Amino acid sequence: MGVVEIDQLVDARGLSCPMPIVKTAQAVKALTSGSVVELLATDPGSIKDVAAWCKSTGNELVEQTSDGAVYRFVIRRK
Amino acid sequence: MTTAMLDAPIEVPAPIPAAAFEAEVNAPPKEILIINYSGDLEKVWATMILASTSAAMGVKTRVFVTFWGLQVFVRDDVRITGENWMQKMLSAMQRPGVSHRKLSKMNFLGMGPWMMRKLAKQYNVASPKELLEAAKELGVEFIPCQMTMDMFGLKREDMIEGMGEPVGAATVIGMMTENSVPLFI
């Protein structure tokens, strides 16, 4: 996958549900359509939650990677 | 003969227009109405988590706050509320404000909530107050119950910033029957 340019980083490492989603929504809300957000989280629930959030809000989940401890999601605002 | 009885035409019901059917299936109500009835710490926590998440997911979210749940939305720095001695005594016995909630069980004179808050900090769980702030920022509408405000002698200036206009039960039922998914907490 090509390198995606990140417009804003949301660092939710260490935060529990629902803060990774809440912080992502707050960040996305402030951006324009097509902007890209990178979310870092350590909450294992975020794997399913981020996908559910993207599906429900219509934003695109471009990438998701992990080093085993930190989950990284790249989301493009619709 | 039986064939004679089979002459009557069968009325075939008109098929559901495809568009209407699809709209019904593919467009579930995108509105949530939480009735925050309780003032207990653990239930208020649930309200705040669900309300902030729901708004974050792009769902129009309203929280009707009534009865003990209304005490949660009194400003943290307001100690005694009410006009007569009974209303004042109620607030004295049960401190209002989102930061002063008690557990419905295992309260142990405040030991329970203290441990709960300590655990939440340890595991980075946002407090009800933080979640309330996030919910407000994401556009959750908190609507007070007019009747409860009157009965407890609560004034608009006792309540936190950004509360909606007080309404009654009929407005809430109206929201429920229109297009909101209701939750009673």
B111 vs B179, which has greater pLDDT?
A: B111
Judge whether A48 lies within some domain: yes
For β-strands A36-41 and A71-76, DSSP reports them as: antiparallel
Residue with tokens 């959030």: A53
Residue A7 pLDDT class (50, 70, 90 cuts): very high
DSSP string, B80-142: ---SSHHHHHHHHHS--SGGG---SSS-GGGHHHHHHHHHHHHTTPPPHHHHHHHHHHTTPEE
Taking contacts as CB-CB distances below 8 angstroms, the residues of chain A near B134 are 19, 22, 26
Judge whether A20 lies within some domain: yes
Judge whether B44 lies within some domain: yes
Domain hosting A47: range is 8-76
Mark B168-184 as b/e (b = at least 16 C-beta within 10 Å): eeeebeebeeeebeebe
Contact B78, B97 (CB under 8 A): yes
SS3 for B7?
coil
Taking contacts as CB-CB distances below 8 angstroms, the residues of chain A near B52 are 18, 22
Q: Could you give the CA distance from residue B160 to residue A32 in angstroms, rounded to a whole number?
A: 31
For β-strands B60-65 and B141-144, DSSP reports them as: parallel
Judge whether B162 lies within some domain: yes
| Secondary structure of chain A as H, E, C letters | CCCCCCCEEEEECCCCCCHHHHHHHHHHHCCCCCCEEEEEECCCCHHHHHHHHHHHHCCEEEEEEECCCCEEEEEECC
Out of A14, A22, A56, the one facing B52 most closely (by C-beta) is: A22
Put simply, whether the predicted model's pTM sits higher than 0.95 gets the answer no
- Number of structural domains (chain B) is 1
Residue B20 pLDDT class (50, 70, 90 cuts): low
Q: How many Cβ atoms are within 10 Å of A22's Cβ, its own excluded? A: 26
User: Does A47 reach chain B within 8 Å, measured CB to CB?
Assistant: no
- Give the CA distances from residue B72 to residues A14, B41, B78, B97, B100, in Å, rounded to whole numbers and listed in that order: 27, 9, 11, 5, 8
pLDDT at A20 over 90: yes
- Number of structural domains (chain A) is 1
* Nearest chain B alpha carbon to A26: B138
Residue B137 pLDDT class (50, 70, 90 cuts): very high
What phi and psi, each to the nearest 5 degrees, are found at residue B39?
-110, 5
Judge whether A59 lies within some domain: yes
- Which of A11, A13, A21, A22 to mutate against chain B (most B CBs within 10 Å)? A22
What phi and psi, each to the nearest 5 degrees, are found at residue B118?
-65, -45
Give the residue from B39, B36, B76 showing the smallest Cα distance to B52: B36
CATH for A35: 3.30.110.40
For β-strands B141-144 and B181-184, DSSP reports them as: unpaired
Pairs of CB atoms within 8 A across A/B? 47
- pLDDT tens for B58-106 read 999 999 999 999 999 999 999 999 999 999 999 988 899 999 999 998 8
Q: Could you give the CA distance from residue A61 to residue A70 in angstroms, rounded to a whole number?
A: 17
Domain hosting B176: range is 30-100+128-184
Give the residue from A35, A24, A30 showing the smallest Cα distance to A57: A24
User: Does B181 reach chain A within 8 Å, measured CB to CB?
Assistant: no
Taking contacts as CB-CB distances below 8 angstroms, the residues of chain B near A77 are none
Q: Could you give the CA distance from residue A7 to residue B99 in angstroms, rounded to a whole number?
A: 36
CATH for B75: 3.40.1260.10
Judge whether A33 lies within some domain: yes
pLDDT at A10: 96
Contact B144, B163 (CB under 8 A): yes
- Kindly state the average pLDDT of the residues A47-66: 92
Judge whether A1 lies within some domain: no
